[in-house]
Copies of this chain bind each other. A is one copy, B any other.
């Protein structure tokens, strides 16, 4: 793998800021949902299990602020708002997906390790 970025503290700090954003509970789910196509607010809400209206709004605003998502308002009645990944958002989706694939492949092993750990400690 290419490793052009040494893990100096300075770099890691910046990186962890970005990871904090995408690492929060909902950002990744939203990004993954928008990967295939533009979606409306209500579609996202229905598609992402358990997200509250408040958190969907806040997370979308943050993603928009970061330039990862565009928000397009169509003034009609009822109003319509579409969210779409920017090119940068799409490029982020790739390494996120890689991480997701890893997570999926190792979930069982992790669960096993946790069970073992929990059983031998108390």
Contacts and interface: CB of A to CB of B under 8 A. Distances in A.
Interface in A84-98: 88, 91-92, 94-98
A32 interface: yes
Interface residues of A, number: 57
Copies in the complex: 2
A103 B18 contact: yes
B97 A96 contact: no
A55 interface: no
Contacts of A37: none
13 contacts: A1-B94, A3-B101, A11-B100, A14-B104, A15-B103, A18-B107, A18-B110, A66-B110, A67-B112, A94-B102, A95-B98, A95-B102, A99-B99
